[in-house]
Chain A
C-alpha cells in the first residue's frame, strides 16, 4: 500500500506517493533525481548520505521517508545560490578538501549542520562534527582547514 508524502526539499514543495518502507535517501535520489546525496554503506556508518532534516544532520539511509513527512530537507543541491557557490563550497575548492568527491556532499552537509548549530566551533569541535563522515581520500585535515577558514570569516556569503 502506497502512502502520500509531503516534503519540502531545498525550498521546493513535493507531493509523492511512496511505499512505506521507502528510505529518505531513495526519495531524494530515485524519486526526485537529487543524486548529489550518495549512499556508501546503508548502515548509518559512513556519512555519505547526510542531509539536513528540519535543521538536524541525519543519515538519509536510515530515515524512512515517511518519518520526514511534512518536513524540510536541505541537500547539497540546495547550498549554492543560483550559480554562486556558498562559503563552505568555495572553501572546499580553495583548500582542496575533497578528491574523489563521493563523500563530499555528506561532508558539506555535516559541516553545514555544525556551523548552523555552532558558528564558532573549535578545531576539536570541527573534528567531532565530521567524525561520522568517512573520507578515504583526503585524510580530513584539508576539510578541517576549509571549515576553519569559513569560521574565521575568510568568505563572504552571497546575498
Chain B
C-alpha cells in the first residue's frame, strides 16, 4: 500500500467539471460592461523606417474611441532579460522603425471588432523600406543591414560553455565525426490565441485579465512600460487555453489594450486572430548546428565541440535563455569529459524567436541523438550500448555547470532495450529509432531580476476545515492546479476535495515566476508543501496540548485524522482541532506560508529528469511517405504526484515533438511566413497520431516535493531524433534538417540509389 493518500492516485482534474461542461471562462470569453474592442495595425514590411503615421481618418470613424501609436507610450523598450538593459529591445508599439512583418505600429479601440478593423484600414503609415536580412548566416556578414543600432554584425548574444581540454581530447580519439544540421521553426499553436482585457479606472489602478503563463511577469513588465507602480496593477489569469512557452512575455494584446484603456478609462479587449498568432507572436528558434564528436573505438565519447548560429528574429525575447540551454543540453544526457559550445544569436528581420516547450533542448537533442547514432553505426556498436556507456548516472557533476542528484537514465535504457527486443523482427521498411534525453526542473536563473522568492504559497484553514490555497502558479492546461492541490492535501492530511485553489491572481496570490522551464511541480510544489506543513504545525500544537501524549510521540494528520504517528488509532478529528485552534487563536484563521528559491544547486536547475524514447516508423520507399506507428517512452520524473497528468504530458508532448520531427515548419519568403493558418500549418491530427506507450521508472528526487521532478518539457526533446533514427533504420537515409518530410526522404532515397549504381 502506498504511504500516500492523495499523491499517486488517479484523480479528476480540479478544473475538470468546469471544462467538460463549457462553463470554464477564458479571457477569450470575458465581457465587461462598457467594454471596447481593440485591434492592432502591423507592419507589412520586414524592415522599414516609419516616416509618418496619420490616424485622423481612423479617429473620425463613428464608433472609434481611441487610436494610439508609439507616441502615446513612454517610449520605453522592454524585454524579459530585465537585468541587462541592452537586451530590452522591444517597444511593442514601434516609434521609428519596424523590424519584422507583424511589428505593431498602431492600435484602435472601438465599440465592436468590425469597427476597429475598419479603422485600421483608415490609418496611413508612410514607410521607407530598408534592406532586410532573413537568414542568420547572412545577418552576421559585414555587408548585412544593421537591425538594431549599435549591434555589430547583428550579433545579439553569444554564449560560451566549456570544460575539460577539448582540443587535446580530439587528439586522443580513434574516430571523429563532423556533421551539420538545420533546425526549423515551430509555432506554439495554443488553441486560445493571445488575448487580454485591460481595465484602467479613474482611481489610477489597472486590472488585466489575460491568457498567460506568468501573471507576475506581466504585472512587472506592464509596470516598467507604463510607469505605474507594480502594486497598482492587478493581473488575473482566468482559465488559459495553452501556453507552451508563448505566453510569459509581455505581448502586443496586453500592452496595446493597456495603453488604450489608460487613455479612455474603459475596459478594452484585444484578441489576436489566428493569422496574427502565427505571424506576430514568438516561435521556436531555428538554428544551424555544426558539431564535431570524437570517440574511442569502444564507444567512449571523449570530446564534443558545438557551434550553433541561431535565428533570433527581430528582438531578444527569451532568446538568450534558449541559446544557453541549447548549449547546455547539447551535452545531455552524457558524461562528456571535454566539451565546448559556442552559440551566436543573430538578429534577423523575421518574427522574434523565443521560448517554446523544451527551450532549445529539442533542437540540441535532435542533433546529438542523430549524431550519436551515426557514431555508433561508424564504430559498429549497438545504439543502446553507446548510450549506456556514456550516459549520466546519479550524483554526477556536469563540470562547473550542474549537479545531478537523481537520474534513472540507465533504467530507462534497460526498459527500452527490452521493449525493442520484445518487438522482435520488424516488417520490411519499418524501423525503430531511439533517443535519450534529459531536462531541468525549473531554472536557477534570475535574469528577470525579481527580488521575490521564485515560488510562494499561502494556505488558509477555515472554521469548517476547508482549505484555501493561494499561489501564483499558472495553470495553463498542464495540470498545476490539480498537482499543487494534491501536494497540499497530502501534506496537510486532508482530502483533495477539501482544497480550493486560488491561483495566478497577483492581487491575492504570492508571487510565482510562472509556468515555464518545467518549474512548477518542483518549485511551487515545494512552496505549497512548506505552507501546508506550516499550517499543519499550528494545528498540531493545539492537538498536542489537547491530547497530552507522552513526549516521545509525535503527531501527524492523515485522511482528516490527527493521531500519534506511531499509534494511528489514538487520535482526534481534524475538524474538531481546527475549530479549537481558531478559537485558541482569538478567532484568527490558521495561515501557513511557504516559499522556495533554489540555493547551492549549480547554475542551471535543482533537478533533472531523464528518459529514453523508441519511435517506430513505416516508410513507403516509393513516395518517401512514412507513418509514425508507435512511440514508446521510458520516462522518470521522480515520485509521480499526478499520474493522469503525467500521462497527458507524455502523450501530448509526442503530438508536439512528433510534429516538430515530422511536419511542422514555418517556411518564409522575404520574412513573410507562408502558412499562417491552421489549414496550411500542418500538425499531427488524430489520424496521424501514433500509438503511445509509457514505461514508468521509479526514482526519487531529494530536492523535489515528496521526491518529484519535472514531467512537462523534457518529453518534447527526444521525438524528432527518434524519428530520424527510425527512418534511417527503416530505409538507410539520414535527414539532417527538420522537419523530416516525405519529400526530403524521397530525395535522399533517390540520391542513395544513384550512388549505389
A residues near B (Cβ < 8 Å) are: 29, 33-46, 48, 75-77, 79-80, 85, 89, 92-94, 96, 98-105, 108, 127-128, 130-144
Interface pair A131/B647, CB less than 8 Å apart: no
Choose among A44, A79, A127, A141 the residue that contacts B21 (Cβ–Cβ < 8 A).
A79
Choose among A42, A98, A102, A136 the residue that contacts B20 (Cβ–Cβ < 8 A).
A98
Interface pair B191/A100, CB less than 8 Å apart: yes
What are 17 contact pairs spanning A and B, CB under 8 A?
Answer: A35-B29, A39-B28, A42-B273, A45-B678, A45-B679, A76-B22, A99-B652, A100-B476, A100-B477, A133-B686, A134-B678, A134-B683, A135-B655, A136-B189, A136-B244, A136-B683, A140-B655
| Closest A residue, CB atoms, query B191 | A102
Interface pair A102/B16, CB less than 8 Å apart: no
Interface pair A139/B685, CB less than 8 Å apart: no
Proximity bits, B468-484, A CB within 8 Å = 1, else 0: 00000000111100000
Max chain B C-beta neighbours (<10 A), residue from A34, A37, A127: A127
Residues of A near B17 (CB, < 8 A) are 85, 93
Given A41-B677, A127-B687, A128-B687, are A99 and B648 also a contact pair (CB < 8 Å)? yes
Q: Closest approach, in angstroms, between the C-beta of A81 and any C-beta of chain B?
A: 11
Residues of A near B645 (CB, < 8 A) are 96
| Closest A residue, CB atoms, query B655 | A139
Interface pair B21/A136, CB less than 8 Å apart: no
Choose among B273, B648, B678 the residue that contacts A137 (Cβ–Cβ < 8 A).
B648
Residues of B near A141 (CB, < 8 A) are 651, 689, 691-692
Interface pair A104/B647, CB less than 8 Å apart: no
Interface pair A46/B651, CB less than 8 Å apart: no
Interface pair B15/A101, CB less than 8 Å apart: yes
Majority DSSP secondary structure for residues of A touching B: loop
Closest 7 CB pairs of A and B: A36-B22, A100-B477, A102-B241, A101-B19, A76-B22, A139-B651, A102-B191
Interface pair B652/A93, CB less than 8 Å apart: no
- Determine whether B375 belongs to the interface, using a CB cutoff of 8 Å to chain A: no
Interface pair A138/B648, CB less than 8 Å apart: yes
Interface pair A144/B21, CB less than 8 Å apart: no
| Closest B residue, CB atoms, query A19 | B114
CA distance A58 to B599 in the complex (A): 54
Q: Closest approach, in angstroms, between the C-beta of A94 and any C-beta of chain B?
A: 7
Known: A102-B477, A132-B685. 19 other contacts (CB 8 A): A35-B28, A36-B22, A85-B17, A85-B20, A89-B21, A100-B192, A101-B241, A102-B191, A104-B19, A105-B22, A127-B686, A127-B689, A128-B686, A134-B189, A136-B656, A138-B648, A140-B651, A142-B651, A144-B686
Interface residues of B in 70-100 (CB under 8 A from A): none
Residues of B near A128 (CB, < 8 A) are 686-687
- Determine whether B638 belongs to the interface, using a CB cutoff of 8 Å to chain A: no
Residues of A near B25 (CB, < 8 A) are 35
CA distance A101 to B23 in the complex (A): 10
Interface pair A134/B677, CB less than 8 Å apart: no
Given A99-B478, A102-B241, are A142 and B21 also a contact pair (CB < 8 Å)? no
Residues of B near A144 (CB, < 8 A) are 686
Given A40-B678, A138-B651, A139-B654, are A99 and B28 also a contact pair (CB < 8 Å)? no
Residues of B near A34 (CB, < 8 A) are 22
- Determine whether B26 belongs to the interface, using a CB cutoff of 8 Å to chain A: yes
Residues of B near A85 (CB, < 8 A) are 17, 20-21
Interface pair A96/B22, CB less than 8 Å apart: no
CA distance A140 to B651 in the complex (A): 8
Interface pair A131/B679, CB less than 8 Å apart: no
Interface pair B689/A100, CB less than 8 Å apart: no
Residues of A near B18 (CB, < 8 A) are 101
Residues of A near B240 (CB, < 8 A) are 100
Residues of A near B476 (CB, < 8 A) are 100
Q: Closest approach, in angstroms, between the C-beta of B602 and any C-beta of chain A?
A: 31
Q: Closest approach, in angstroms, between the C-beta of B40 and any C-beta of chain A?
A: 17
CA distance A79 to B19 in the complex (A): 12
CA distance A94 to B644 in the complex (A): 9
| Closest A residue, CB atoms, query B476 | A100
CA distance A104 to B16 in the complex (A): 10
Residues of B near A48 (CB, < 8 A) are 191
| Closest A residue, CB atoms, query B16 | A93
Residues of A near B650 (CB, < 8 A) are 139
CA distance A136 to B651 in the complex (A): 11
Interface residues of B in 710-731 (CB under 8 A from A): none
CA distance A80 to B20 in the complex (A): 9
Choose among B31, B274, B477, B685 the residue that contacts A99 (Cβ–Cβ < 8 A).
B477
Max chain B C-beta neighbours (<10 A), residue from A36, A103, A132: A36
Residues of A near B655 (CB, < 8 A) are 135-136, 138-140
Interface residues of B in 263-284 (CB under 8 A from A): 273-274
- Determine whether B653 belongs to the interface, using a CB cutoff of 8 Å to chain A: yes
Given A41-B274, A134-B683, are A98 and B19 also a contact pair (CB < 8 Å)? yes
Residues of A near B24 (CB, < 8 A) are 101
Interface pair A140/B677, CB less than 8 Å apart: no
| Closest B residue, CB atoms, query A91 | B20
Residues of B near A137 (CB, < 8 A) are 242, 477, 648, 652
Interface pair A142/B20, CB less than 8 Å apart: no
Interface pair B26/A102, CB less than 8 Å apart: yes
Residues of A near B193 (CB, < 8 A) are 40
Q: Closest approach, in angstroms, between the C-beta of B656 and any C-beta of chain A?
A: 7
Q: Closest approach, in angstroms, between the C-beta of B220 and any C-beta of chain A?
A: 24
Residues of A near B15 (CB, < 8 A) are 101
CA distance A65 to B653 in the complex (A): 37
Interface pair B689/A139, CB less than 8 Å apart: yes
CA distance A108 to B644 in the complex (A): 19
CA distance A143 to B686 in the complex (A): 10
Residues of A near B22 (CB, < 8 A) are 34-37, 75-77, 104-105
Interface residues of B in 648-699 (CB under 8 A from A): 648, 650-656, 677-679, 683-687, 689, 691-692
Interface pair B652/A103, CB less than 8 Å apart: no
Interface pair B644/A96, CB less than 8 Å apart: yes
Interface pair A139/B477, CB less than 8 Å apart: no
Q: Closest approach, in angstroms, between the C-beta of A57 and any C-beta of chain B?
A: 14
Interface pair A101/B21, CB less than 8 Å apart: no
Residues of A near B692 (CB, < 8 A) are 139, 141
Q: Closest approach, in angstroms, between the C-beta of A1 and any C-beta of chain B?
A: 16
Q: Closest approach, in angstroms, between the C-beta of B754 and any C-beta of chain A?
A: 38
CA distance A67 to B655 in the complex (A): 36
Interface pair B685/A76, CB less than 8 Å apart: no
Q: Closest approach, in angstroms, between the C-beta of B26 and any C-beta of chain A?
A: 7
| Closest A residue, CB atoms, query B273 | A42
Interface pair B274/A43, CB less than 8 Å apart: yes
- Determine whether B239 belongs to the interface, using a CB cutoff of 8 Å to chain A: yes
Residues of A near B190 (CB, < 8 A) are 100, 102, 136
Residues of B near A44 (CB, < 8 A) are 679
Q: Closest approach, in angstroms, between the C-beta of A55 and any C-beta of chain B?
A: 20
Given A38-B28, A136-B244, A136-B656, are A130 and B21 also a contact pair (CB < 8 Å)? no
CA distance A75 to B22 in the complex (A): 9
- Determine whether B13 belongs to the interface, using a CB cutoff of 8 Å to chain A: yes
CA distance A80 to B644 in the complex (A): 23
Interface pair B21/A140, CB less than 8 Å apart: no
Residues of A near B747 (CB, < 8 A) are none
Interface pair B644/A40, CB less than 8 Å apart: no
Given A99-B478, A131-B686, A136-B189, are A46 and B678 also a contact pair (CB < 8 Å)? yes
CA distance A128 to B686 in the complex (A): 7
- Determine whether B12 belongs to the interface, using a CB cutoff of 8 Å to chain A: yes
Q: Closest approach, in angstroms, between the C-beta of A30 and any C-beta of chain B?
A: 8
Q: Closest approach, in angstroms, between the C-beta of B171 and any C-beta of chain A?
A: 46
CA distance A121 to B654 in the complex (A): 25
Residues of B near A127 (CB, < 8 A) are 686-687, 689
Interface pair B274/A93, CB less than 8 Å apart: no
